[in-house]
């Protein structure tokens, strides 16, 4: 068993509410603010773990609910845990499956005791209690374990929002009580729907339970940006300074920088890798859709100054050609680029905070100019 970290989270510099820090886990340190690539099924699609690491990722997110369905916790446990099973030796955060209560809403049912899921793969049912959610993630060997929560969709009725929020609080306490001693970190999740007072109430209640870190859940699910930011501010107002703060499911440059400026430390999203599979690269100057005819003879790299293998060795014209022929190399190369872009963005954010230049960086990204123009 690896030794637990002495101090899990340290803030090393602040710029307004933005902060640069270090989150220590049993499998390594995460330098924050940080973006976590999403490997739902214990893989970043089409990439080797070494390629993900070379792209700058320090921590990955995997989904405990999906992994419990297939290949199953028992197999991963026999393989030596999730790190050995997927060949990743860095930190892993596992999501409990709470988000699937929104994304798989038509095939789920919730009561105060547990959440009932119907597998999208074979139709089998899985009843997940807070205690089982903890057991699954501990057996997987996650470094950061997430509580089971009950988010709601944008537009949900207020009575449902209130009931789901109160259920999230009860489940959080049950998760806290069920978590065995060890070297893993446990994060609580605040909910509250789209009501600022309920968001504040939820954040205060979850923060009082003494978790190692705190997450804002149930946002970036279709609500207007101004609503999202108002709900984020309401949540963060109750989170203690000494705990890491995680915005679940946020993954575009401008949105991430806005959340960093409010005091968020961790992010995850499928957007960069999903865009790559749909022939779209993310760059400092915006998105490049490689299926457009205008790139057919464009011999420039995806992004000048990027040192990823896609930019160092290949042109936009070649990448467009690969997508046109259906070659999997196209997915690999653009995924490497998009993850490299996210890592460079976050490294630039950390450096800007330390140098006192974060406001300039944020303005640069919002104006569509390259992040390197800041400062």
Close Cβ partners of 159 (under 8 Å, ≥ 6 residues apart): none
| Separation of alpha carbons 180 and 123, rounded Å | 32
State the DSSP H helix or E strand holding residue 52, giving kind and residue range, or none if neither: helix 49-54
| Separation of alpha carbons 364 and 349, rounded Å | 12
Instruction: Identify whether 95 is a catalytic site residue.
Output: yes
| Separation of alpha carbons 265 and 90, rounded Å | 18
The alpha carbon dihedral of 56, 61, 66, 69 has a sign of positive
Helix (H, G, I), strand (E, B) or coil at 45: coil
- Phi-psi map region of 97: left, alpha, beta (phi>0 left; psi -120 to 50 alpha): left
| Separation of alpha carbons 243 and 211, rounded Å | 8
| Separation of alpha carbons 98 and 188, rounded Å | 12
| Of 281, 276, 317, 280, nearest in space to 299 by CA | 317
Give the length of the chain.
Answer: 375
Q: Which of 149, 253, 265, 268 is catalytic?
A: 268
| Of 39, 248, 72, nearest in space to 149 by CA | 248
Half-sphere exposure of 20 (CA within 13 A, CB side): 16
Q: Which of 95, 135, 143, 212 is catalytic?
A: 95
| Separation of alpha carbons 89 and 75, rounded Å | 18
Instruction: Identify whether 122 is a catalytic site residue.
Output: no
Active site members:
95, 268
């Amino acid at each position: 068993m690896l030794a637990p970290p002495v101090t899990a989270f340290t803030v090393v510099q602040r710029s307004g509410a933005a902060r640069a820090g270090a989150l220590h886990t049993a499998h390594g340190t995460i330098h924050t603010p940080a973006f976590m690539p999403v490997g739902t099924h214990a893989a970043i699609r089409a990439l080797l773990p070494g390629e993900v690491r070379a792209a700058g990722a320090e921590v990955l997110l995997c989904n405990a609910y999906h992994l419990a369905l297939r290949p199953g916790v028992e197999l991963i446990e026999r393989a030596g845990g999730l790190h050995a099973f997927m060949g990743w030796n860095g930190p892993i955060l596992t999501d409990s499956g709470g988000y699937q209560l929104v994304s798989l809403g038509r095939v789920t049912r919730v009561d105060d005791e547990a959440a009932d899921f119907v597998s999208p793969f074979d139709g089998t049912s899985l009843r997940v209690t807070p205690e089982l959610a903890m057991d699954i993630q501990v057996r997987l060997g996650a470094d950061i374990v997430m509580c089971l929560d009950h988010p709601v969709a944008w537009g949900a009725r207020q009575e449902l929002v209130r009931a789901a929020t109160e259920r999230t609080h009860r489940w959080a306490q049950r998760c806290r009580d069920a978590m065995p001693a060890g070297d893993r970190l446990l994060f609580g999740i605040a909910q509250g729907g789209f009501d600022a007072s309920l968001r504040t109430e939820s954040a205060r209640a979850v923060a009082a339970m003494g978790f190692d870190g705190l997450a804002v859940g149930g946002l970036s699910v279709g609500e207007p940006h101004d609503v999202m930011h108002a709900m984020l501010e309401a949540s963060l107002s109750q989170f203690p300074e000494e705990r890491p703060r995680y915005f679940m499911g946020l993954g575009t440059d401008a949105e991430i920088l806005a959340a960093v400026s409010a005091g968020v430390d961790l992010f995850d999203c499928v957007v960069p890798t999903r865009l790559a599979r749909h022939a779209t690269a993310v760059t400092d100057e915006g998105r490049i859709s490689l299926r457009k005819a205008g790139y057919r003879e464009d011999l420039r790299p995806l992004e000048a100054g990027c040192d990823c293998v896609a930019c160092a060795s290949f042109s936009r014209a070649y990448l467009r050609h690969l997508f046109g022929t259906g070659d999997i190399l196209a997915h690999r190369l653009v995924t490497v680029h998009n993850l490299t872009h996210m890592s460079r963005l976050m490294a630039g954010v950390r450096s800007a905070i330390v140098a006192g230049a974060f406001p300039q960086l944020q303005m640069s990204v919002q104006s569509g100019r390259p992040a390197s123009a800041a400062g």
